[in-house]
Structure 1
Amino acid sequence: PTPHKPPAPPRVFEAVGVALSALPVNARFAVALSGGVDSSVLLDAAVRVAGASRCIALHVHHGLSAHADEWLAHCEAFAQERGIEFAAQRVDVSRGQGMSVEAAARDARYRALDAMCAAHGVHALWLAQHADDQAETVLLQLLRGAGLAGLAAMAPEYLPAGTSALRVRPLLHVLRAQLEQYANARDLRYIDDESNADTRYARNALRHEVTPALAVHFPGFRDALARTAAHAASAQRLLDELARIDMNAIARDEGRALSHDLLLALDDERALNLLRYWMRTLGLATASTARLTDALRQLREIGAAGEGHHLRVDHAGQALRSYRDLVYWEAGDSSEPADETAPRARAVSELAWQGESIWRLPQWRGTFVFADVDTDPDAGVSDEGAASSNDTDTIPVSVLRAAVLSARSRSGGERMRIGAAPNAPSRTLKNLFQERAVPAWKRDVPLLYIGDALLFVPLLGVNRAALPELHDAAEPRIRILWREDLLIA
């Protein structure tokens, strides 16, 4: 620094040092680099404390600004000047139903950052939010009437479900003014996003018009709001622990559904707490208290009337359903029938079977397994674990070779015969799924056809109408199983 400039504030180095000391020895970390003053300071300080070899700079190109390409080039140059590895990813910001541009961009950004962390073997992702950001977040949540989870604001560190890199905010107790002082002392070049001055955005309005007034009359407001966030986070942890206890008793199908009767046995406050927690475990966007209260009211009403199919609660592209004492979320709108059609059609796949043991179907996130009956370790057991002793549950090899196999989506109205007798009636898949109490979210399975004839349906078995009435008892037979990706060994 020059004699006319104050030195870089030690508070920044101290904060980075604390975050670094929490990492395993030699563990690699990433800094999310937008190019703004906050992330630029964090990256510069991280390199000075930890060295360039342990760090990688990650940038997300949203394409929302006319200057996005310039920002990408700037960030890459900034990292190269410090000898730091750099990676970037372009994303398309598509707004979901009821989602703001800011929320959609944030969602796309974090998905891209998590993907880059996984690709580069990163242990922790450092984010540059600071004390002023935390205070603004608490104020925004207060003004929106948020609950404890909202008031808890930004956690110093957390590991989101389904990700491998811990998200860490080393600067959460550092003021924006201290970061600007650091940038000035180090002559850092950084980007000034023009959207930060647009007070049509709620956060910018707080930053430019509200917090300056608070600072005059309540100089310690940032620390006070940080304490509020910490108290809220502590209370939320207790509520989450209570919800986990309830989940253990009420959850069904590995947490994808809840018992309708046991959920309604809880009082309203406890049931709403469980619903919020359950939605978070499923990765669903948080619903408002009004929406969840309405959902609980409808669940109680249909419980009394015994008409679960009348439930109509839509949220973030999902529909809350109730079926045979199960409550679950299903992709799509509640106006779509839950028990007739698959959530969405997929491309048809074809296979001229020549003895293959597996047929991978990426669009279905699963695999058909063709197991020889003599060597099949699951012989005598269906893919849902039901015992099978009749060889009509298997298929002669000659049938599989007779025509091209195809995997297709349900279109509604398909029928099959599961009775062994030749004159047994055919039934609709809808009726068979209902008879076996298969919930709607499990019915989105590929139907296996041989030529134009339906041959096999996961969870239901072989369509015996597609098999020859007479066959050579000595002919090799195949058992078909459907395995979702998580079940593949």
Structure 2
Amino acid sequence: MTTTEDSSADRLVLEAVGVSLSGPRVSSSDAAKDDAQIDARIAVAFSGGVDSCVLLDAAVRVAGASRVIALHVHHGLSVNADAWLAHCEAFARERGVAFDARRVEVSREAGASIEANARDARYRALDAMCEAHGVRTMWLAQHADDQAETVLLQLLRGAGLAGLAAMAPAYSPAGAMAVRVRPLLHLLRAQLEQYANARGLHWIDDESNADTRYARNALRHEVTPALAVHFPGFRDALARTAAHAASAQRLLDELAQLDLNAMARDEGRALSHDALLALDDDRALNLLRYWMRGLGLVAASSARLNDALRQLREVGAAHEGHRLRIDHAGQALRSYRGLVYWEAGDSRDPADETALVAREAGELRWQGEPVWRLPQWRGSFVFAMVEGGANAADRGGLDTIPLTVLKRARLAVRSRSGGERMRVNPSHDAPGRTLKNLFQERGIPAWKRDVPLLYVGDELLFVPLLGVNRAALPETVDAAEARIRIDWREDLTIA
């Protein structure tokens, strides 16, 4: 027999799911995604624990089985992972719900958080499955206890407003197809368990949830029970704190976006050094955090950002000789020629002005093709005939190459490895110079220097942004010979 308490939990869960189904407000700068939650199909991130079992069961009751798909991620971290996968599939099938699962590898590198790595892998897999099934709304089963634990963890870590804002009821991650919605965020774990018991649901108990070596588990088993005794309303209070923090963070983000609009260079990948230093410290630090988040970089600690800003002020935009470099999480903050920017790599990498990224090499026996497409470089070499023979060799400042040079050996494209040299001076006695020095001389930002080098045989022939290596050309010119101009064209990026 269903008790009054059970009936209350049933009603609360179904109401919460119904509200989400009708379309919660999404925190997103992309207005086009605001209606994504109204899409006909809903994905439920389904681990098989009590929370996600309740969410899936309620979603079927409110929306109907045909509108729901259950998505499971197999981490392989537990010896029971295969059994959990089987349980989840059976649970979904019993309710007539479509089911999909992905297996992921979780990094166990020393010093890395297994929890964080597993979470990142899980969301990548869930997003991939949503995209594969064309689903634009994904429901997550976090609840009020999870929210309270998250706020406490962020407080103990000394997090800023963005951390204290904790989990949003609905949000649209950058680059993800599906909006993430948390229908149960205002319900207690105890209410979900009441619903599950009343419905006779069977769920998985992950043995790792009892391991208090993990910070969240320690809070759950040892701290929050004591808080519940002395401060019964602590969950509601922490939820209000998260909401206030989220509101304040939105205002800071709006201010940062105004500042970014005023000083962004090269499509937001760089900032004006002078404009950044014109801001007071609080405003400049707010901009740096927002900028890094927009670039997809790992958040830096307050101490690291304060030190970076201090060094930027000490160096000043005019002191080019210093060429500031501050390492952070595999990236380097650079100040050079009036710009502040991030580049991949740190001080352990080769001492070059760019991160040297190895890409797949390619070869071509050129037979007059007008375009050589290089997907691994996201661009193409374009070969165009230049009329006028030798007299057109440098017309309009365009480097051209005799046709016989292109056909004397196979063309090859390679990554920069450091130390490559070329001659840009027409004089045969002029010395070759390193690509690094030529890039610097022409003021080409570091992030633009990861370009494919075009070789004919083993001889460097052409470098995008720098032009033809004149050392590869013959000393004598046949005025009647056809000549070719080479351009490098990057793929069009569609936002």
**Aligned equivalent of 2:455:** 449
Q: Does 1:75 align with 2:88?
A: yes
Within the candidate set 244, 268, 274, 2:257 is matched to 244
**Aligned equivalent of 1:321:** 334
Paired with 2:173 and 2:337, the residues of 1 have a C-alpha distance of 32
Paired with 2:445 and 2:110, the residues of 1 have a C-alpha distance of 26
Greater shift in the superposed pair: 342-351 or 272-281? 342-351
Greater shift in the superposed pair: 461-470 or 76-85? 461-470
Shift, 1:2, TM fit? 6.1
**Aligned equivalent of 2:33:** none
Compared with structure 1, are the counterparts of its residues 346 and 309 closer, same or farther at alpha carbon in structure 2 (3 Å cutoff)?
A: farther
Shift, 1:25, TM fit? 5.1
2:99 is paired with a residue whose SS is strand
Consecutive unaligned residues of structure 2, counting only runs of 5 or more, are: 24-35
TM-score (norm 2): 0.90
Paired with 1:124 and 1:371, the residues of 2 have a C-alpha distance of 48
**Aligned equivalent of 2:6:** 6
1:14 is paired with a residue whose SS is helix
Q: Does 1:213 align with 2:230?
A: no
Alignment length, in residue pairs? 477
CA RMSD, aligned part only?
2.5
Within the candidate set 67, 72, 76, 1:54 is matched to 67
1:210 is paired with a residue whose SS is helix
Compared with structure 1, are the counterparts of its residues 362 and 339 closer, same or farther at alpha carbon in structure 2 (3 Å cutoff)?
A: same
Within the candidate set 129, 142, 154, 1:141 is matched to 154
Paired with 1:158 and 1:60, the residues of 2 have a C-alpha distance of 21
1:6 is paired with a residue whose SS is helix
- CA distances 1:415-451 after superposition (whole Å, capped 9, x unpaired): 2122334444432211110011112221111111000
TM-score (norm 1): 0.91
**Aligned equivalent of 2:359:** 346
| AA in 2 matched with 1:193 | D
1:437 is paired with a residue whose SS is coil
- The equivalences for 1:88-487 within 5 A come to 88-94=101-107, 99-303=112-316, 306=319, 309=322, 311-337=324-350, 339-340=352-353, 342-373=355-386, 389-390=395-396, 393-473=399-479, 475-487=481-493
Q: Answer whether contact 1:455 1:463 (CA < 8 A) is retained.
A: yes
Compared with structure 1, are the counterparts of its residues 487 and 423 closer, same or farther at alpha carbon in structure 2 (3 Å cutoff)?
A: farther
2:316 is paired with a residue whose SS is helix
- CA distances 1:154-210 after superposition (whole Å, capped 9, x unpaired): 011111111221111111111111111111111112111111011111111111111
Consecutive unaligned residues of structure 1, counting only runs of 5 or more, are: 375-379, 381-387
Paired with 1:161 and 1:26, the residues of 2 have a C-alpha distance of 19
2:79 is paired with a residue whose SS is coil
Q: Answer whether contact 1:341 1:411 (CA < 8 A) is retained.
A: no
- CA distances 1:118-138 after superposition (whole Å, capped 9, x unpaired): 121111111111111001111
Shift, 1:474, TM fit? 5.3
Shift, 1:317, TM fit? 1.7
Q: Does 1:19 align with 2:32?
A: no
- CA distances 1:87-127 after superposition (whole Å, capped 9, x unpaired): 21111112578541111111111111111111211111111
Shift, 1:469, TM fit? 4.1
Shift, 1:481, TM fit? 2.4
